[in-house]
Structure 1
Amino acid sequence: MTSQTELDSAVREILAAARERSTDGRERVSVDARSLPDALARAEREGRVPIVAEVKPTSPTAEGTRADDPVELAEAMVAGGAAAISVLTEPDHFGGSPEALRRIRQAVDVPVLRKDFLLREAQLDAVEADLLLLIARFVDDLEKLVTAARERGFQPLVEVHDRDELEDALAAGAEIVGINNRDLARLEVDLGTFESVAPHVPDDVTVIAESGVSSPADVRRMRAAGADALLVGSAIMDHGEESDVTENVRRLTETTQ
């Protein structure tokens, strides 16, 4: 795990809140997951760029919030061609909740990723989802948490930021890897991060480009670097604006590949 002194203050606050979040009284979940690789392949067959569109009411790096009903947002994203939906469940800094994810998963027929700061096994049981985000940098025993997620039926998406973290993810058995272009020390985005790490991902591992994709040109750049899919949040949500979420997704999924 990275030293907290190396992290942006906002990230340190998020991690502190995650450690304190209660897990009392939770029953172990069992999930019949929708396959993300199948959903990405279906998008490819239909001529769409595979986009994982993110329902993110706000974030420490966004200006403003969107108060739309999360189910309506997710349905609009699917209408725009999203292959899957990512849902923030972190409540204090991103305005998310497990209940929002539960409602979204009932309403859409694509895989749904639970995106949160999950540090220990009991935190996996907050809500059923098809995928769980595990951030390699923050987990003490990544292999144990990957195994615990799979035992519940989740598909773990392991997020990395550099070559060393990628090696840790692969050693832990990750089959879906997200490469985050956002530097957690300064919260700055560099698409070159994906381009430097992606060539070292084995061919049989699904690789997703995360953060910083805001235009068709960015989509083409990440796809050329080997991205099987792209996780896009702020550019779709357009926080604080009454933008057309369906159209925001469509302009990315219909990018010439």
Structure 2
Amino acid sequence: MTILDKIVAHKKIEVAARKEILTVADLQSRPLFDKEPVSAKSWIGSPTKSGIIAEFKRQSPSKGLINGTAKVSDVAEGYFKAGASAMSVLTDQEFFGGTVDDLLAARSVSPVPIIRKDFIVDEYQIIEAKSIGADFILLIASCLTPAESKKYAAVARNLGMQVLLEVHNEEELNAHVDPCMDLIGVNNRNLKTFEVSIETSKALADKIPNEFVKVSESGISNIENIKELKTYGYKGFLIGENFMKTENPAKAAIDFIGQL
């Protein structure tokens, strides 16, 4: 069983437990459920913005503890001031140390589009994402069947949210891509070996239809990476550990984006 298999198995148990505590009706009654989502596609795809999706992540299965002291509201405010085009907030607690409260805290101080970064395995999580102020969600092709990813994308679209589909290879892209999705992210990290290479993004660049905003994820640690990937049509760049591994993630983002 891979780490991804373990995460998905645990996530299904976790979601079933949450359903017992909060019903869909409870989620729909939250004030943020009626908030109009900000367009991630517009912000990330705009030539006048940085394209940086700055992430808040405390830990990961591959790296262990990354940052156990940073306050999410401070980081979120700093990312916005730095010029990030969007923010990614991990809400998985078991493996990444995040919670839905982290996204709520980020939402309270930042106007940029915020993605709920989690392992979506149930429609309930999408409704929950809307109820905590997320503007778009992540659908990971490796965790879902093509039918599931397309179904969940339609649910998000009906709620006014956008979708970032994450793929690792051409097979996943061809099987999962759908008109209800808005951004296609290529994860440069092999989820089986955890090796990282931006060559993955380069190889898939011309396979992604032009109507989707192209996003490169993982392994982006310098300005040269971004400049090179832009020549392949990428407009979005998900950066997490590069900022979070520092003592002051907000300052790291300001310094990095300032160079762009």
TM-score of the superposed pair, with normalisation by structure 2 = 0.87
Q: Which residue of 2 aligns with 1:217?
A: 224
Partner residue of 1:249?
A: 253
Question: Aligned with 1:132: secondary structure?
Answer: strand
Alpha-carbon distance in structure 2 between the residues aligned to 1:121 and 1:216: 37
The DSSP-based 3-state class of the residue aligned with 2:87 is: strand
Structure 2: any 5+ residue segments left out of the alignment? none
Are positions 1:20 and 2:13 aligned together?
A: yes
Displacement after TM superposition at 1:63 (Å):
4.6
Q: 1:26 to 1:222 in 2, by over 3 A?
A: farther
Q: How far does residue 158 in structure 1 lie from its aligned partner after superposition?
A: 0.8
| CA contact 1:23–1:122 (8 Å) conserved in 2 | no
Q: Which residue identity lines up with residue 82 of structure 1 in the other structure?
A: A
Secondary structure in 2 matching 1:221: helix
Query: Which residue does the alignment assign to 1:119?
Result: 121
Q: 2:41·2:182 contact (CA, 8 Å) conserved in 1? A: no
- Aligned pairs, number: 243
State the alpha-carbon separation in 1 of the partners of residues 183 and 155 from structure 2.
Answer: 15
Matched, 1:129 2:134: yes
Q: Distance in 1 between matches of 2:115 and 2:42?
A: 14
Structure 1 SS opposite 2:18: coil
Percent of paired sites with the same residue:
28
- Note the alpha carbon deviations across 1:35-57, whole angstroms, 9 max, x for none: 11222255x32xx5310000101
1:163-189 CA deviation, whole Å, 9 max, x = no partner?
111112324642211110011111111
| 2:56 is aligned with 1:51 | no
Q: CA deviation at 1:231?
A: 0.6
Of residues 214, 220, 243 in structure 2, which corresponds to 1:236?
A: 243
Give the Cα separation in 1 of the matches to 2:182 and 2:191. Answer: 23
SS of equivalent to 2:115: strand
Give the one of 136, 143, 150 matched to 1:138: 143
Structure 1, unpaired ranges of 5+: none
Q: Write the letter of the residue equivalent to 2:50.
A: V
The SS at the match of 2:137 is strand
**Alpha-carbon distance between aligned partners in 1 of 2:133 and 2:141, rounded to the nearest angstrom:** 21
What is the CA distance between 1:84 and its match in structure 2? 0.8
CA deviation digits over 1:15-48, x for unaligned, max 9?
2211111231332544521011222255x32xx5
Q: Deviations over 1:94-149 (max 9, x none)?
A: 11111110121121011000000011112223233101001012113211111111
2:138·2:166 contact (CA, 8 Å) conserved in 1?
Answer: yes
Q: Secondary structure at the match of 2:121?
A: coil
| Greater displacement, 17-26 / 109-118 | 17-26
CA contact (8 A) 1:50 1:253 kept: no
Partners of 1:192 and 1:52 in 2: CA distance: 20
User: Normalising by structure 1, what TM-score?
Assistant: 0.88
For 2:143, the aligned partner's letter is F
Give the secondary-structure state (helix, strand or coil) at the position aligned to 2:216.
strand
How many Å separate the matches in 2 of 1:134 and 1:79?
A: 28
